Amino acid sequence: MKQDEDLINLSKNLRFASSSFSSVAEICRRSGINRQQFNKYLSGRHRPSHRVLAKLSRFFSVEERDLFMKAADFERFYEGVESDITWDLRNSREFIRFGPLARMSVGLLRPYFGVYYRYHNSSIYKGKVLRSILCIYENNGLAQHVYVERFPGQNGKHKNEYVFRYHGLCVFLGDRIFLVDSERIQKNELTFSILTPSHRNTVRFLYGLITGVAATSFREPFATRMALDFQSKGKITKSQLKDATVLPPSDDSIPHEIRDYLSDPAGSTVWGGSE
């Protein structure tokens, strides 16, 4: 019975994964799998050998055991992956290893899900602290995050001259939280953050480092300290979004723990970045 169930799941999952390609012939050519044999797997008539399973998992960028998941579960984490990234990247061993690591991080990161005020010294507005709004959440079996930056006009004429929105993945590794994201509005930025997790029962502050590229005409790289201040569980609210802005370092709305962290001589500098 178990064997039949595995074959049924494999058949459904292969058909679903194959639907994002132009043809079965393309899949067989790229993966190096015999087309006649592949058709047997699609129809649920034959179980692939360990060697062929390894080829299938590499090609579809999943673990071998994932191919035998229930169809609904498989679709949730696989859907859209082929159209989002190149086949060469999906077929690389490094990318295949990253997927399970990202999925395993979800349980470890659940205590940190929620909305935070995110503070760091600005690479654009000299001598100012940028407060953006960040949310860590679970989606499609992965820990993901989004944050929004809002920059007021320096001449005072525009309430918000620049708005940036970043989306990315969160990974828990080596007792650290890693955030990797891309800017989705202008599509011209990637940032990387490392945070030290809190092991208290109630998470309030998270401290770490952010690196990226300044959104100026010089486009210089920068790195500086960053701190998160937990606000609430759930999604970002409109009232929280209004608090995204640029502040003087002495502003009383910035918690004194974060002011001290950012103003420390070792952390107040923005390395690189054109200000």
275 versus 184: which is more confidently predicted? 184
pLDDT (0 to 100) of residue 155: 59
The band of 217, judged by pLDDT with boundaries at 50, 70 and 90, is low
Indicate the Cα dihedral angle 213, 239, 113, 101, nearest 10°: -30
User: Per the domain annotation, does 102 fall within a domain?
Assistant: no
- Say whether pLDDT at 164 is over 80: yes
**Are residues 158 and 239 located together in one domain of the fold?**
yes
**Are residues 246 and 140 located together in one domain of the fold?**
yes
Residue 57 sits in a domain of what CATH number?
1.10.260.40
Question: Could you say which of 27, 61, 91 is where a domain stops?
Answer: 91
Query: What is the total count of domains within the chain?
Result: 2
- Say whether pLDDT at 81 is over 70: no
Q: What angle do CA 106, 108, 110 make, to 5 degrees?
A: 65
**Are residues 113 and 87 located together in one domain of the fold?**
no
Query: What pTM did the predictor assign?
Result: 0.64
pLDDT (0 to 100) of residue 74: 82
**Overall size of the chain counted in residues:** 275
pLDDT (0 to 100) of residue 152: 80
Contacts of 82 (CB under 8 A, 6+ apart): 17, 20, 21, 90
Domain residues for the domain of 218 are 109-272
pLDDT (0 to 100) of residue 254: 96
Question: Could you say which of 58, 91, 124 is where a domain stops?
Answer: 91
- Say whether pLDDT at 84 is over 60: no
